[in-house]
Amino acid sequence: MALLYKSTRGDSKYITASQAILKGIADDGGLYVPEAIPKIDFKLDEILNMDYKALAYRVLRLVLDDFTEDELKYCINGAYDEKFDTPLIAPLKETADCGVLELFHGKTIAFKDMALSILPYLLKTSARKNGEDRQIVILTATSGDTGKAALEGFADVEGTGIIVFFPQDGVSDVQKKQMVTQEGRNTCVVGIKGNFDDCQTAVKKAFTDKALKEELAAKGYVFSSANSINIGRLAPQIVYYFYAYAQMVKAGRVKLGEKINFVVPTGNFGNILAGYYAKNMGLPVDKLICASNENKVLYDFFKTGEYNARREFILTSSPSMDILISSNLERLLYHLSDAETVSEKMKLLSSEGDYGFTAMDSSFIGEYSTEAETFAIIKEVFEKEGYVLDTHTAVAYNSYKKYVSESGDNTPAVVVSTASPFKFAKDVLAAIDEKYKSIDPFEAVRTLSEVSGTPVPAPIKDIEKRPVLHDICIEKEAIEGFIKAKLI
């Protein structure tokens, strides 16, 4: 029986996985969810012998079940190849406290590569399967990492174009430089005078604007999304939870079949939601610890049942988690209630800025780390273990230690590491030693290499010398007008 997708907000049309990937977001503004989360059809011990690609196939065929074996294998082989700097794709490091799943070995050295290296293949295949021959325009709002990973994924992919909006003053210097130096005929990068939520809201609005859609259709364009609102982003992220589990078993940190906890540095709630899917597909997972930085809306939500986005937006050293409206939470709410409830809550969120929801799954634990705690744990782990955490991973690592000391729960755990420390070298160095506080951000990359004894990752080597190819900056109110002017 086919697995179908529907909107979280009640639009009653059921569509296939490939159609959901093409559309990105439902017409009623909801996100696509599988009508039921499929169960794994393999034994857990089988995953111990699978490489990343084989495992990806076994997991993805269940979730994206209208793709043929050939189609899926083509997508997987195209994505998880030498673009990654290790054949393991997502290696597990160990510290005295826990496993650390490194998801930053792709082209842009952040975890977004795990999904965005396969999304262009999934999207092109979906277009072919559904007879879509219009030019696909990818609209993307980014808090820093999605933008670059999507640009790398879609650059010069025939039949597609990509426009990325990022908060001009809300990303790290390396992140910004990575984006504005992007090559590719079909790429466009735009700075916004506003924060990530402003970018995301404007992009979501463009997606659901009927008049705009019709105008574009007449010109031969169709929108899709590379944000984690697209199910084609989410599905590939389920794979590495299984992969992490297999490595924990092989490392002897857990016995096959026993449960583990995952700790996930969270922003838009896509990564941790993939963990929830993995758990519900049959992976032995106990707690999913949702780690926030000082923008701790989710922490408060899990503690109190009130989601309250009416608060000051704080710029932190973990900018990819500086988010007050976590889009994918909507999907979790749907799985725990129904479309009517979700629709009502999302209306409240946009009109009042808050809503209540108490039917929470007890697997979820909210934790958070302050800036001071984040810096302190980077120093501590470096001094004790010689291992350098990036700022986002540090938020999670510290949240994990807080959780253990509060709960006494010593279930084996994996901290999901979402970025290379080189991407946030300046803050990481300042955490290790105050004397680096005012270091130039690009000098910091070379210095971190010396201090940590690891080479600068190729994707950002000498990045400051590359020519700037995109230098547009616009007001947040001008986003829709910009899209029109660009395409029509």
Q: Site residues (CB under 6 A) for ligand PLP?
A: 110-112, 145, 228, 265-271, 320-321, 392, 418-419
User: Nearest CA to 155 among 184, 178, 182, 119?
Assistant: 184
Q: Which is nearer to ligand PLP, 254 or 297 (CB)?
A: 297
Q: Which is nearer to ligand PLP, 26 or 291 (CB)?
A: 291
Give the shortest CB-229-to-ligand PLP separation in angstroms.
Answer: 10
Q: Which is nearer to ligand PLP, 79 or 254 (CB)?
A: 79
Task: Return the C-alpha torsion angle 125, 129, 135, 138, nearest 10.
Answer: -50
C-alpha distances in Å from residue 343, one per residue of 100, 297, 369:
37, 20, 31
| Residues with Cβ within 8 Å of residue 68, at least 6 apart in sequence | none
Q: Which is nearer to ligand PLP, 106 or 120 (CB)?
A: 106
Report, as residue numbers or ranges, the catalytic residues.
112
| Residues with Cβ within 8 Å of residue 437, at least 6 apart in sequence | 430
User: Nearest CA to 361 among 317, 318, 302, 405?
Assistant: 302
Buried b (16+ CB within 10 A) or exposed e, 320-334: bbbbbbbbbbbbbbb
Q: Which is nearer to ligand PLP, 80 or 269 (CB)?
A: 269
Give the shortest CB-393-to-ligand PLP separation in angstroms.
Answer: 8
Give the shortest CB-250-to-ligand PLP separation in angstroms.
Answer: 26
Q: Which is nearer to ligand PLP, 170 or 265 (CB)?
A: 265
Q: Which is nearer to ligand PLP, 79 or 127 (CB)?
A: 79
Give the shortest CB-317-to-ligand PLP separation in angstroms.
Answer: 11
In 240-385, at which residue ranges do the beta strands (DSSP E only) sit?
260-265, 285-292, 306-308, 354-356, 364-368
Give the shortest CB-60-to-ligand PLP separation in angstroms.
Answer: 18
Place of tokens 């971190």: 448
Residue 264's SS3 state is: strand
Give the shortest CB-423-to-ligand PLP separation in angstroms.
Answer: 7
- C-alpha–C-alpha distance, residues 82 and 235, integer Å: 21
Give the shortest CB-131-to-ligand PLP separation in angstroms.
Answer: 32
Q: Which long-range contacts (CB under 8 A, 24 or more apart) does 399-408 make?
A: 399/263, 399/289, 399/291, 399/292, 399/367, 399/368, 399/369, 400/97, 400/98, 400/263, 400/289, 400/291, 400/367, 401/97, 401/377, 402/367, 402/369, 403/263, 403/289, 403/365, 403/367, 404/97, 407/365
- C-alpha–C-alpha distance, residues 111 and 104, integer Å: 5
* Residues in a beta bridge with 6: 33
